[in-house]
Amino acid sequence: MNLYRDVLRPLLFSGFRADPETLKVQLLQALHWMGTTHATGVLAGLERLFCYEDPVLQVKLWGLTFPNPIGLAAGFDKDGLGLAAWPSLGFGFVEVGTVTAQAQPGNPKPRLFQLPQDQAGLNHMGFNNQGAAALAKRLRQLPQHRIPIGVNLGKSKVTPLQEAATDYLTSFRLLKELGDYFVVNVSSPNTPGLRSLQATEQLEPILVAVQQENQGQKPLLVKIAPDLDWPEIDGILELAQTHQLAGIVATNTTLRRNHLQTRFLPGRGIPITEEAGGISGAPLRARSTEVIRYIHQATQGKLPIIGVGGIFTLADALEKLEAGASLLQVYTGWVYEGPGMVKRLLQGISAHRKAPIRAAADP
């Protein structure tokens, strides 16, 4: 029996506690306390429970060494509160953000929902974060840097679309010496007009501005939506080559609702088709893998891919790695499967790399 999945998660999801966002905030506050008070005994205990090390899991990419290929996706720890603690939960890297040039509260609450029938989440958070300057201050105070830290950059809601390049550049300048890699996020569905920045004529000025400032110092990636069609992805791949991007993050959440079993939003009675926001988790699994495979084939495997979307089991992780992903990120799957998930996946990936014939399913 999985204690978290079979006992704790049903209690948390049943609503006897707070809404999902409140629970997430409480977890981040606890992780922040562990890191800032140097609760080494607690962190060491977490490491014994949730970490798994094996040299075969190590990934060297962009001049960085990732102890394992599983990272925490952007959106969970927007302000880097848990940075000192995430390594103790087994992650090989973490991507903070999405961070914007200006601090902003995000969209009205409630804005985060669990859809257990679909093993999915729905969010329309709206890039709520304390701003790039606050994140820069926190990163400077980080006592140690045990795993690579990515920084996911978004556009401030108040900034007009035509000034997006300046907005992204402002955040990058504040953070460029503090992150190990950077991701231009133009694919969230929760900031008005943001996804239009995926169009090549709007994305190119952003990449030009950031890369001119970057001067090749840090790996720069772009995060794309799963809802793009193949010609749109081709256009982004052309820009990636032209502007020497280090890779693609595939993919963000989806706007599609057609495969959901959930008909009404939990606790609100609103038809799921009428609620704004992006869907994450299992409904995204197949499409994100399809996009990964397409990018890998279109670039002959020369453009690294961080694969994210619907990873719950070893089979899910292996599918994305075999489709062409160099690294993986989890978020919704981790919420559903619990803190032991990363260790289980790593044990399975390790066994698969040593003896592929044995790696058919989750251990």
Instruction: Tell me whether the omega of the peptide bond preceding residue 339 falls within 30 degrees of 0, making it cis.
Output: no
| Residue of 188, 280, 326, 350 marked catalytic | 188
Q: pTM for the full model? A: 0.92
Write down the pLDDT at residue 310: 96
Write down the pLDDT at residue 170: 98
* Strand residues in 282-352 grouped as ranges (E): 305-308, 327-330
Write down the pLDDT at residue 11: 46
Write down the pLDDT at residue 58: 97
Read off the pLDDT band of 197 (50, 70, 90). confident
C-alpha dihedral, 195 to 125 to 315 to 224, nearest 10°: 10
Tell me the DSSP string of 177-231: TT-SEEEEE---TTSTTGGGGGSHHHHHHHHHHHHHHHTTSS-EEEEE-TT--HH
Say which residue, 3 or 64, is predicted with more confidence: 64
Write down the pLDDT at residue 8: 46
Q: Residue 188 catalytic?
A: yes
146: left (phi over 0), alpha (psi -120 to 50) or beta: alpha
Cβ density class 293-332: b for 16+ within 10 Å, e for less: bbbbeebeeebbbbbbbbbbbbebbbbbbebbbbbbbbbb
> Does 361 score more than 60 pLDDT?
no
Q: What's the CATH number for 3-354?
A: 3.20.20.70
Q: pLDDT digit string (tens) for 247-295?
A: 999 999 999 998 899 999 877 788 998 888 999 999 999 999 999 999 9
Read off the pLDDT band of 2 (50, 70, 90). low
Tell me the DSSP string of 43-103: HHHHHHHH----GGG-EEETTEEESSSEEEPTTSSTT-TTTTTGGGGT-SEEEEEEE-SS-
